[in-house]
Amino acid sequence: MTVRLVIFGRQGAGKGTQAVNIVNTYGVAHISTGDMLRAAVKAETPMGLKAKAVMRAGNLVGDDIINGIVAERLQEDDATGPGFVLDGYPRTINQAEALLDFLGDNHLDAVIDLDVPLEEVTARMKSRGRADDTDDGIARRLDLYEQETRPVLDFFKEKGLLVTVDGLGTEEEVSSRLIAAINEHL
């Protein structure tokens, strides 16, 4: 069985942690564009050097660059075999359309929205201390989420793929809720 998922949520909603729980449950590939970009910044690749300032400011890296890295990653064996959970992608309508285009007939099983209120994600981000978690960076990312990413949820909702999961509670509570919701859609 191939399982193809997208996990959504504001930054700080616990997407990354829950994506790992999904990986452990279904054996799928974890495709996190944020992790891929941070690795490129660390390795000082040409893409990493370009992305560094954009990420630090909390802005979005260009759609063409991101669509290119995701298209390549989706062709690797672990993603075409067991499947994948996309974490942090797509974040714009352009990216969502590009994704459906690369997948062709290999339809997504579900798009999960891990729902955590704004005040809670802001507090969580302030306490995790990542390089781009400055007050301005956090505010900018939350703003972009509403402007650019919220419409992507509506896009998937119209396609009947959206599954909203309450992201409040312990990691275990959220994980069991999430896995139960995914199983209903497979």
β 83-87/29-32 pair status:
parallel
* Structure tokens that stand for 154 in this block: 């509506």
Cα separation, 178 vs 175, whole angstroms: 5
CB of 145 to ligand AMP, least distance (A): 9
Q: Other C-beta atoms within 10 Å of 172: how many? A: 9
Active-site pick, 50, 124, 150, 157: 124
* Interaction of residue 88 with ligand AMP, rule CB under 6 A: yes
Active site residue 73: no
SS3 at position 168:
coil
* Interaction of residue 34 with ligand AMP, rule CB under 6 A: yes
Nearer to ligand AMP, 4 or 91 (CB): 91
* Interaction of residue 89 with ligand AMP, rule CB under 6 A: yes
Contacting ligand AMP within 64-83 (CB under 6 A): 66
Active site residue 38: no
The CA–CA distances, whole Å, from 109 to 10, 78, 169 equal 21, 17, 25
Nearer to ligand AMP, 83 or 137 (CB): 137
Nearer to ligand AMP, 10 or 28 (CB): 10
